[in-house]
Amino acid sequence: MHATLSRLASLVNGKCIGDRDVVITGLRPIQEAGAGEITFLAHPRYQAFLSSTQAEAIILPMSSPEYKGLTKPIIKVDNPYLALAKLIDFFYPRALPRAGVHPQAVVGKNPKLGQNVSIQAQAALGDDIELGDGVVVYPGVYIGDGVRIGAHSSIFPQVAIYPGVQIGQRVTIHAGSAIGSDGYGYVFADGCHHKIPQVGRLLIEDDVEIGANVTIDRGALGDTVIGRGTKIDNLVQIAHNVVIGEHSLIVSQTGISGSAQLGRYVALGGQVGVVGHIKVGEGTRVAAKAGISKDIPPHSTIAGMAGIPHRKWKESEVIFRRLPKFRAKIMELEQRLAALEQKAGLFPAAGPEK
Amino acid sequence: MHATLSRLASLVNGKCIGDRDVVITGLRPIQEAGAGEITFLAHPRYQAFLSSTQAEAIILPMSSPEYKGLTKPIIKVDNPYLALAKLIDFFYPRALPRAGVHPQAVVGKNPKLGQNVSIQAQAALGDDIELGDGVVVYPGVYIGDGVRIGAHSSIFPQVAIYPGVQIGQRVTIHAGSAIGSDGYGYVFADGCHHKIPQVGRLLIEDDVEIGANVTIDRGALGDTVIGRGTKIDNLVQIAHNVVIGEHSLIVSQTGISGSAQLGRYVALGGQVGVVGHIKVGEGTRVAAKAGISKDIPPHSTIAGMAGIPHRKWKESEVIFRRLPKFRAKIMELEQRLAALEQKAGLFPAAGPEK
Amino acid sequence: MHATLSRLASLVNGKCIGDRDVVITGLRPIQEAGAGEITFLAHPRYQAFLSSTQAEAIILPMSSPEYKGLTKPIIKVDNPYLALAKLIDFFYPRALPRAGVHPQAVVGKNPKLGQNVSIQAQAALGDDIELGDGVVVYPGVYIGDGVRIGAHSSIFPQVAIYPGVQIGQRVTIHAGSAIGSDGYGYVFADGCHHKIPQVGRLLIEDDVEIGANVTIDRGALGDTVIGRGTKIDNLVQIAHNVVIGEHSLIVSQTGISGSAQLGRYVALGGQVGVVGHIKVGEGTRVAAKAGISKDIPPHSTIAGMAGIPHRKWKESEVIFRRLPKFRAKIMELEQRLAALEQKAGLFPAAGPEK
């Protein structure tokens, strides 16, 4: 693919500065881009590369200052990442998989298949499944009885979708994820743990993306729900009866315990843990590795093991490193105080700290 | 399925209060249950729904108080979760998968198959495997040479069971778990890490349940053992030569390092880490996210990064949040002390804390 | 397999002490070894078993002291773990899988297959793939279009290798790992998260081993790179554009965020988190559960949530447990100070800590 700078500018709703007619043949990161290629400065972290990049042209934020000595053609845009997404689609067009059912796929009774469905080799689909137009089922996928998947969704290799799971349109699920398996529910009696059968459903709404090797449990009795537009990273655990609001972000290796409810636009960093049966308010942001153990009001910013506000955590964390100095200081104060007390004819109230 | 309240009461060994002849047609959570359905109050957290629920009847703990205005028929039971498990089995009966070997499954030489074994599409089984009566092998499962699986076990889609693994009766393994893969063992020499071949076994005893995308390594030379009745949640890591006692609970995303030994009835919360070669005593309970780095005596309750007793962790954690106030207080005390010292004709022993 | 002690000694470059002609028929851990078997003492932790072991002979470190009463034949070696690795290879020879393409494997167009390639049942390979000599593709593996895998690599069951991934020689990837899936990249606009297409590559160099259910993302635009000889444990997450140097060790359940760069010989413990876009210097060692949030100089030793040096973390952690005592001490000092101030005719500067 190739295009003039002015055509690319109109593709990304950007403003051309410099030679509008230069022909661009590719797109690469700022350290790697070469002749004929366009690159981008999305994060100030990479500003130092502006002077050395071999790129032909550069995408900059509308708000960026004049960079001295930067004589290359430029496209200025409101949101460089959004421009990047559009340019990648332009320069790296993806071929749609061949439609049809591969002879070494297995499909059960009464399937309802939309237009241009692709069911690839080694897939195993149960009875009474329903796949919308353009759904792609990659090799080795398992789809249980009664599963419905909306149009233009992609199910990558070796995903397992348990019976009865309902999936919306334009949903992507990456390799190896377990979708709708049994939640962790037991009752202890007579010295052992008895399983509470897990018979609820899992509903995944439109435009959700789920990473690789994720686990999402079906409801125990009611439903587990993943709200529209929510994006889930690799190796995340979502337990039974969790409800996640729309447009939330769940970063890798985070775990959400049973029946927790997250509002819309929540963002959880990596390796976060959320205990069960609590509510995390809309728009809340949680730093990586935090533990959330109680209800969190909307629009909070949380960090640390105890799920305390991020600012307070930072303050305490800085002092944590200085605890040895604190101990020394307290001991010194005590000695000085004892000396004063002796001089004043008073006796210390207690012995030294043990 | 439907039944009178009195029949359900006898099913769960409960005591009927109110109309014994009301016909119950389903079972749902307290917020969702409607006409003809029975629900339950298992946790006081949901007590507020008692007055608003549309359910036809309610299961309550034997010990629950009289709820004013609650005029619906009731079944009182010793353990509502146990009753719930029985009622789910009644209202949501599960169809057993069709017995037989699917024509697109592959089975190696000399298999020993019990009665009513189900081997589904796209499964790949090695030589000399042995499956007990009623074993179900779901689509896409891999079972290596020489594996034995006891009666009435279920192996969900895309589980990989490495050669030689021994699995007991009534074991359930959920989708995508890697059972008996190589442990992480290397020796450093000449500037690189040389693999120590992992040739031990993995023994999984009766009545174990293993979640989705779990990893359990075979022994390096001896055995890894998962004790009878132990329940393992999704995304748990169990390293080579770990021995877990009977009836333990390992919650999601927890990792247990090589050669650690857990006693019976141990319960590890989510995202816990256990270092290698240590012993965790019988009946020990560990809070989510804790790190266990040394031997733990039986019946301990542990929390926090350093694996300290749970009560102590809570005390320190509360103070952690107040460290900034502590710093201010120490500085104030020092100033007051210096003023006194000056007045008393003494000089401070040291300058202010840096 | 069996051999005289002197033959085993020459196999491991060791020094025989005692009966050189005793015949050894097996190798087992020190607690389990019996008549005819050799065992080893690699870690002093197991020294107590030296007096009780039923083994026929023992491998000891060259530096080990004389153990009183130990009359069994001995092989002394520089590195017992290295000797162990060689003896396991001797006593537990592994059969190579049968070469050839199983009739129920699916291979796309234009494959280039080396000598003795084994492609097993239920595998699904795309177009234009290239597999070197002796590559083994286990059942249920997916290999996307254009993937290249170097000689003598093994891809265990249900691994998914996305299109275009490049893999070196003698690489091992264990069951269920997702290799080269999309990174987690979105841009927020108009109230929802838009995907940034992930079109970069993933390069895995020679002699890398990857555990089970690992996730490694392809680059967003540039490359993700796993350096030669690096060993990755189960359930590790490696995000897009991460670059890991040669001979590094990444223990289970660790997560490395996007564009982070690790030097050579880095060792990360289990459940570590590394934030994005930072550099971890060569030879750095990070304790389990640590969080790394900024650049780390070479040869550091790091621990704790804030990624502080390991020694400092230990000092502060000890005091953390004693914070309640500290609080009590500060309050006591304040009371004693107030008494002195009163006596001296001074008034306290502030009320008690709230």
Neighbours of chain B (3+ CB pairs under 8 A): A, C
- Cβ distance B195 to C209 less than 8 Å, yes or no, reads yes
Mean pLDDT calculated for residue range B308-324: 74
pTM: 0.92
- Cβ distance B92 to A197 less than 8 Å, yes or no, reads yes
Q: How confident is the model at residue A337 (pLDDT cuts 50, 70, 90)?
A: confident
Task: Tell me the CATH number at B189.
Answer: 2.160.10.10
Residue C128 has pLDDT above 60, yes or no: yes
Most A-contacting residue of C237, C257, C272, C321 (CB-CB within 10 A), to test interface: C237
Residue B59 has pLDDT above 60, yes or no: yes
Most B-contacting residue of A109, A129, A196 (CB-CB within 10 A), to test interface: A196
CA distance C114 to chain A (A): 23
Q: How confident is the model at residue C305 (pLDDT cuts 50, 70, 90)?
A: low
SS3 of residue A151 by DSSP: coil
CA distance A189 to chain C (A): 33
Residue C310 has pLDDT above 80, yes or no: no
Most B-contacting residue of A193, A225, A331 (CB-CB within 10 A), to test interface: A193
- Same domain (yes/no): B286, B325: no
Q: Are strands C178-181 and C160-161 parallel, antiparallel or unpaired?
A: parallel
- Same domain (yes/no): C297, C339: no
What's the distance, Cα to Cα, between the start and end of chain B in Å? Answer: 74
- Cβ distance A271 to C275 less than 8 Å, yes or no, reads no
Between B318 and A112, where is the model more confident?
A: A112
- Cβ distance B319 to C321 less than 8 Å, yes or no, reads no
- pLDDT for residue B307: 61
Residue C293 has pLDDT above 70, yes or no: yes
Residue B212 has pLDDT above 60, yes or no: yes
- Cβ distance C181 to A175 less than 8 Å, yes or no, reads yes
- Same domain (yes/no): B292, B180: yes
- Same domain (yes/no): B84, B16: yes
Residue B300 has pLDDT above 90, yes or no: yes
Closest Cα in chain C to B326: C327
Q: Is A152 exposed, middle or buried (0-12, 13-18, 19+ CB in 10 A)?
A: middle
Domain boundary among C67, C91, C115: C91
> Which of B94-98, C143-147, C190-194 is the least confident region?
B94-98
- Cβ distance B221 to C28 less than 8 Å, yes or no, reads yes
Mean pLDDT calculated for residue range B327-343: 84
Catalytic residue numbers of B? 240
- pLDDT for residue C269: 97
- Same domain (yes/no): A64, A129: no
- Same domain (yes/no): B50, B106: no
SS3 of residue B267 by DSSP: strand
Beta bridge partners, B17, equal B74
Closest Cα in chain C to A30: C222
Question: What is the C-alpha separation between B208 and B131, in angstroms, rounded?
Answer: 16
Q: In 3D, which of C130, C92, C136, C96 has the Cα closest to residue C113?
A: C130
Q: Where are the beta strands (DSSP E) in C51-181?
A: 57-61, 74-77, 100-101, 106-107, 112-113, 118-119, 124-125, 130-131, 136-137, 142-143, 148-149, 154-155, 160-161, 166-167, 172-173, 178-181
Question: What is the C-alpha separation between A131 and B1, in angstroms, rounded?
Answer: 30
Mean pLDDT of chain C: 92
From chain A, the residues in CB contact with C344 under 8 A are: 344
SS3 of residue A131 by DSSP: strand
CA distance B316 to chain C (A): 5
Amino acid symbol at C97: P
pLDDT tens by residue, A193-243: 999 999 999 999 999 999 999 999 999 999 999 999 999 999 999 999 999
Mean pLDDT calculated for residue range A83-112: 94
- Cβ distance A221 to B349 less than 8 Å, yes or no, reads no
Amino acid symbol at C258: G
Task: Provide the number of structural domains found in chain A.
Answer: 3
Q: How confident is the model at residue A353 (pLDDT cuts 50, 70, 90)?
A: very low
What letter would DSSP give residue C219?
P
Residue A269 has pLDDT above 50, yes or no: yes
From chain A, the residues in CB contact with B235 under 8 A are: 213, 215, 235, 237, 255
- Cβ distance A207 to C192 less than 8 Å, yes or no, reads yes
Structure tokens at A192: 């052992």
Structure tokens at B296: 């733990």
- Same domain (yes/no): A156, A173: yes
- Same domain (yes/no): A105, A43: no
Mean pLDDT calculated for residue range A90-116: 95
Q: How confident is the model at residue A307 (pLDDT cuts 50, 70, 90)?
A: low
Element (H, E) at C318: helix C310-320
- Cβ distance C247 to B315 less than 8 Å, yes or no, reads no
Q: How confident is the model at residue B306 (pLDDT cuts 50, 70, 90)?
A: low
Residue A349 has pLDDT above 80, yes or no: no
Mean pLDDT calculated for residue range A300-325: 75
- pLDDT for residue B312: 75
Q: Where are the beta strands (DSSP E) in A92-222?
A: 100-101, 106-107, 112-113, 118-119, 124-125, 130-131, 136-137, 142-143, 148-149, 154-155, 160-161, 166-167, 172-173, 178-181, 186-189, 192-195, 201-204, 209-210, 215-217
Closest Cα in chain C to A91: C199
Q: How confident is the model at residue B353 (pLDDT cuts 50, 70, 90)?
A: very low
Domain boundary among B302, B319, B345: B302
- Cβ distance C84 to B187 less than 8 Å, yes or no, reads yes
Structure tokens at C42: 């690699």
Q: What is the ipTM of this complex?
A: 0.91
- pLDDT for residue C13: 96
Question: What is the C-alpha separation between C135 and C116, in angstroms, rounded?
Answer: 7
pLDDT tens by residue, C231-280: 999 999 999 999 999 999 999 999 999 999 999 999 999 999 999 999 99
Task: Tell me the CATH number at C79.
Answer: 3.40.1390.10
- Cβ distance C336 to A326 less than 8 Å, yes or no, reads no
Domain boundary among C63, C91, C119: C91
Mean pLDDT calculated for residue range B312-335: 79
Q: The sheet that has B243-244: what strands, in order across it?
A: B112-113, B130-131, B148-149, B166-167, B201-204, B223-226, B243-244, B261-262, B279-280
> Which of A98-102, A307-311, B185-189, C300-304 is the least confident region?
A307-311
CA distance A189 to chain B (A): 8
- Same domain (yes/no): B314, B298: no
Range of the domain at A227: 100-302
* Cβ-contact C155, C141 below 8 angstroms: yes
- pLDDT for residue B305: 62
Q: How confident is the model at residue C84 (pLDDT cuts 50, 70, 90)?
A: very high
Closest Cα in chain B to A311: B321
> Can you spell out the DSSP letters for B99-111?
PEE-TT-EE-SS-
- Cβ distance B106 to C139 less than 8 Å, yes or no, reads yes
Q: How confident is the model at residue B326 (pLDDT cuts 50, 70, 90)?
A: confident
Q: What is the 3-state secondary structure (H, E, C) of C70-98?
A: CCCCEEEECCHHHHHHHHHHHHCCCCCCC
- pLDDT for residue B231: 98
- Same domain (yes/no): A32, A148: no
From chain B, the residues in CB contact with C28 under 8 A are: 221-222
Residue C149 has pLDDT above 80, yes or no: yes
- pLDDT for residue C352: 43
- pLDDT for residue C156: 98
Q: Is C48 exposed, middle or buried (0-12, 13-18, 19+ CB in 10 A)?
A: exposed
Residues whose CB is less than 8 angstroms from the CB of residue C178 and which lie 6 or more positions away in sequence, other chains included: A174, A175, A176, A212, A213, A234, C159, C160, C162, C214, C215, C216
Most C-contacting residue of B332, B336, B353 (CB-CB within 10 A), to test interface: B336
Catalytic residue selected from C174, C240, C247, C310: C240
* Cβ-contact A293, A278 below 8 angstroms: yes
> Which of B25-34, C37-46, C49-58, C272-281 is the least confident region?
C37-46
Percent of the residues in chain C that have a pLDDT greater than 70, as a whole number: 96
- pLDDT for residue A354: 39
Between A297 and A42, where is the model more confident?
A: A297
Question: What is the C-alpha separation between C170 and C161, in angstroms, rounded?
Answer: 16
Residues whose CB is less than 8 angstroms from the CB of residue B247 and which lie 6 or more positions away in sequence, other chains included: A191, A192, A193, B227, B228, B229, B230, B264, B265
C-alpha B164: how far from chain center: 25
Mark whether C152 is an active-site residue: no
CA distance A133 to chain C (A): 21
Neighbours of chain A (3+ CB pairs under 8 A): B, C
From chain A, the residues in CB contact with C261 under 8 A are: none
- Same domain (yes/no): C193, C253: yes
Query: Measured at the alpha carbon of residue A175, what is the angle toward residues A170 and A178, in degrees to the nearest 5?
Result: 90
Residue C91 has pLDDT above 70, yes or no: yes
Q: How many CB atoms lie within 10 A of CB B9?
A: 23
Mean pLDDT calculated for residue range C192-198: 96
Residue C307 has pLDDT above 90, yes or no: no
Closest Cα in chain C to A334: C333
- pLDDT for residue A191: 95
Mean pLDDT calculated for residue range C124-132: 98
Structure tokens at A218: 């079906």
Mean pLDDT calculated for residue range A270-296: 94
From chain B, the residues in CB contact with A213 under 8 A are: 176, 213, 235
pLDDT tens by residue, C336-349: 888 888 877 765 44
- pLDDT for residue C353: 43
* φ/ψ bin of B183: left (φ > 0), alpha (ψ from -120 to 50), beta (otherwise): beta
From chain A, the residues in CB contact with C221 under 8 A are: 27-29, 84, 88
Closest Cα in chain C to A340: C340
From chain A, the residues in CB contact with C320 under 8 A are: 320, 323
Q: How confident is the model at residue C351 (pLDDT cuts 50, 70, 90)?
A: very low
pLDDT tens by residue, B228-244: 999 999 999 999 999 99
- Same domain (yes/no): B40, B66: yes
> Can you spell out the DSSP letters for B268-286?
E-TT-EE-TT-EE-TT-EE
- pLDDT for residue C120: 98
